[in-house]
């Protein structure tokens, strides 16, 4: 409870606790009644309750609370081993009455807040109100500052934990990616993945089905961050499980169908109810027939096959995003590959690197760069000015050796 304690003594000494909002007054009996009235007026304005009690000891150490403000009479006869300096060490001082010149000079060392006279109780009431309001304001400010400091410290702690989680997730995701350069089923595969955050919604993978065939895909999960990264882990699990089932089958039949795989992924993703979908290009290459069988879920930009004479041919494709609609049947395509041709795949983050005014113009610019690189992955990166800070996840892949 907020309270003001009025006590009897020889002169006037007032102590206020800022932490408990308490005011202790020690005053001669003749001053108690007008002082009660003045403080009651102040209390009505500030909302501080008044409680009258007797205090006969001057030892500040005997107080049950720490004062925040001391009202004092400069003529006060202080107890032994007590001085204004020792009192000032407990709290700021306010002298009541007009001190002498030497006292004024001495008061500079005490950092006094001002002077008030007991003769004018109205002025004293006003002074009490002003001081109480100032102390309450300071207390609120200090409480706000402390609260902000604590919130800032808590935020820093949470950010550090989040950063650790993100770094751990990044490490795990990187371990799930294939090597950036590899040879699978006679194909030369190069790729680079540039996440916009610690964790990426883009993902690539390549799996050998046997010595003459391989499966590969590029996927782009909607959104960014941890939730999108978790979907890439689910995607890898689903595709790897299907491939492992084919590889470990005692009787080899046909490899998994790209269109069937996308339908299975679509069903599984909808069942997770994560609110996530993805675009994907998934293909199986068969060296025995030099054919590429593929299916797509609305993946952009469209993969481009660059022929041995340097002509760029976007692969024909249709298909809805994966994870948006139930019961989707995905089209499947097969194309014959020429010796010396190479395939270029990318995620839609690549459009952020191009300055052309429209999507069509950006696609044309991209195709030109695909032709200029002549299948050299490092040269393609240089043409796109990679690596650089990317506002969106970006994946780039070249496949040659058909």
Question: What ranges do the domains of the chain cover?
Answer: 4-145, 177-400
Is the sign of the CA dihedral 122, 127, 132, 133 positive or negative?
Answer: positive
Q: Is residue 373 helix, strand or coil?
A: helix
- The structure tokens 């969106």 sit at 392
Element (H, E) at 152: helix 121-176
- Tell me: pLDDT of 143 over 70: yes
Question: Of the candidates 231, 190, 202, which has an alpha carbon nearest to the alpha carbon of residue 347?
Answer: 202
Rounded to a whole number of angstroms, the CA Rg of the chain reads 40
Note whether 4-145 and 177-400 share their fold.
Answer: no
Task: Quote the percentage of the chain above a pLDDT of 90.
Answer: 54
pTM for this predicted structure: 0.68
Question: Please, what is the end-to-end C-alpha distance for the chain in angstroms?
Answer: 85
Question: Of the candidates 173, 256, 184, which has an alpha carbon nearest to the alpha carbon of residue 219?
Answer: 173
Q: Would you state the structure tokens that stand for residue 314, as one six-digit string? A: 């976007």
Task: Name which residue leads in pLDDT, 107 or 203.
Answer: 203
Alpha carbon distance 322, 264 (integer Å): 10
How open is the CA angle 370-371-373, to the nearest 5 degrees?
70
How open is the CA angle 320-323-325, to the nearest 5 degrees?
65
- Tell me: pLDDT of 25 over 50: yes
Lowest mean pLDDT among 95-99, 136-140, 182-186: 95-99
The size of the chain, in residues, is 402
- Tell me: pLDDT of 114 over 60: no
Long-range contacts of 142-148 (CB under 8 A, 24+ apart): none
Q: Is residue 252 helix, strand or coil?
A: coil
Indicate the burial class of 137 (C-beta count within 10 angstroms; 0-12, 13-18, 19 or more): exposed
- Tell me: pLDDT of 303 over 60: yes
Q: What is the CATH number of domain 4-145?
A: 3.40.50
Q: Is residue 156 helix, strand or coil?
A: helix
Contact 301, 348 (CB under 8 A): yes
Q: What does the pLDDT read at residue 110?
A: 53
Alpha carbon distance 157, 173 (integer Å): 24
Q: What is the dihedral of CA 220, 225, 226, 228, to 10 degrees?
A: -20
Alpha carbon distance 398, 381 (integer Å): 11
Alpha carbon distance 385, 54 (integer Å): 83
CATH entry 1.10.10.60 includes domain 177-400? no
Alpha carbon distance 29, 93 (integer Å): 22
CA distances from 91 to 22, 24, 113, 143 (A): 13, 13, 11, 18
Sheet holding 291-297, edge to edge: 202-210, 213-221, 278-286, 291-297, 333-336
For the residues 9-21, what does the mean pLDDT come to? 49
Task: Name which residue leads in pLDDT, 170 or 38.
Answer: 170
Q: What does the pLDDT read at residue 347?
A: 96
For the residues 362-372, what does the mean pLDDT come to? 96
Strands (DSSP E) found in 298-356: 304-306, 312-314, 333-336, 342-346
pLDDT tens digit string along 157-202? 999 998 898 889 889 999 999 999 999 999 999 999 998 888 899 9
For the residues 144-166, what does the mean pLDDT come to? 92
112: left (phi > 0), else alpha (psi -120 to 50), else beta?
beta
Q: Would you state the structure tokens that stand for residue 188, as one six-digit string? A: 């030369």
- Tell me: pLDDT of 38 over 80: no
Q: Is residue 235 helix, strand or coil?
A: helix
Alpha carbon distance 11, 20 (integer Å): 25
Instruction: State the pLDDT confidence band at 88, using cuts at 50, 70 and 90.
Output: low
Mean pLDDT of the chain: 81
Strands (DSSP E) found in 170-289: 181-184, 187-194, 202-210, 213-221, 278-286
Contacts of residue 251, Cβ cutoff 8 Å, sequence gap at least 6: none
Q: What does the pLDDT read at residue 361?
A: 95
């Amino acid at each position: 409870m907020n309270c003001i304690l009025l006590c009897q003594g020889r002169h006037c000494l007032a102590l206020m606790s800022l932490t408990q909002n308490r005011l202790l007054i020690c005053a001669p009996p003749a001053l108690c009644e007008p002082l009660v009235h003045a403080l009651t007026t102040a209390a009505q304005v500030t909302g501080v309750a008044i409680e009258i009690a007797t205090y006969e000891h001057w030892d500040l150490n005997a107080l049950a609370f720490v004062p925040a403000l001391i009202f004092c009479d400069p003529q006060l006869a202080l107890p032994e081993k007590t001085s204004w300096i020792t009192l000032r060490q407990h709290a700021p001082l306010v002298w009541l009455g007009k001190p002498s010149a030497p006292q004024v000079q001495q008061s500079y060392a005490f950092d006094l807040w001002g002077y008030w006279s007991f003769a004018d109780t109205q002025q004293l009431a006003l002074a009490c109100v002003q001081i109480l309001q100032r102390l309450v304001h300071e207390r609120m400010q200090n409480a706000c500052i402390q609260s902000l400091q604590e919130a800032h410290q808590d935020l820093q702690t949470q950010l550090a934990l989040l950063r650790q989680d993100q770094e751990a997730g990044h490490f795990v995701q990187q371990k799930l990616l294939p090597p950036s350069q590899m040879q699978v089923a006679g194909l030369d595969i190069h790729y680079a993945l540039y996440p916009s955050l610690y964790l990426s919604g883009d993902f690539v993978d390549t799996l050998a089905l046997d010595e003459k065939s391989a499966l590969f895909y590029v996927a782009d999960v909607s959104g960014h961050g941890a939730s999108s990264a978790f979907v890439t882990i689910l995607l890898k699990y689903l595709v790897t499980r299907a491939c492992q089932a084919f590889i470990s089958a005692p009787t080899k039949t046909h490899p998994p169908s790209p269109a069937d795989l996308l339908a299975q992924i679509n069903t599984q993703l909808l069942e997770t109810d994560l609110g996530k979908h993805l675009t994907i290009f998934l293909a199986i290459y068969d060296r025995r027939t030099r054919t590429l069988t593929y299916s797509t879920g609305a993946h952009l930009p469209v993969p481009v096959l660059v022929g041995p004479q340097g002509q760029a041919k976007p692969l024909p494709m249709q298909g809805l995003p994966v994870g948006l609609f139930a019961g989707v049947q995905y089209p499947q395509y097969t194309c014959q590959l020429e010796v010396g041709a190479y395939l270029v795949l990318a995620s839609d983050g690549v459009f952020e690197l191009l300055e052309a005014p429209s999507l069509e113009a950006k696609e044309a610019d991209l195709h030109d760069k695909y032709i200029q690189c002549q299948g050299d992955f490092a040269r393609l990166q240089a043409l796109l000015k990679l690596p650089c800070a990317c506002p969106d996840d970006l994946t780039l892949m070249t496949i040659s050796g058909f």
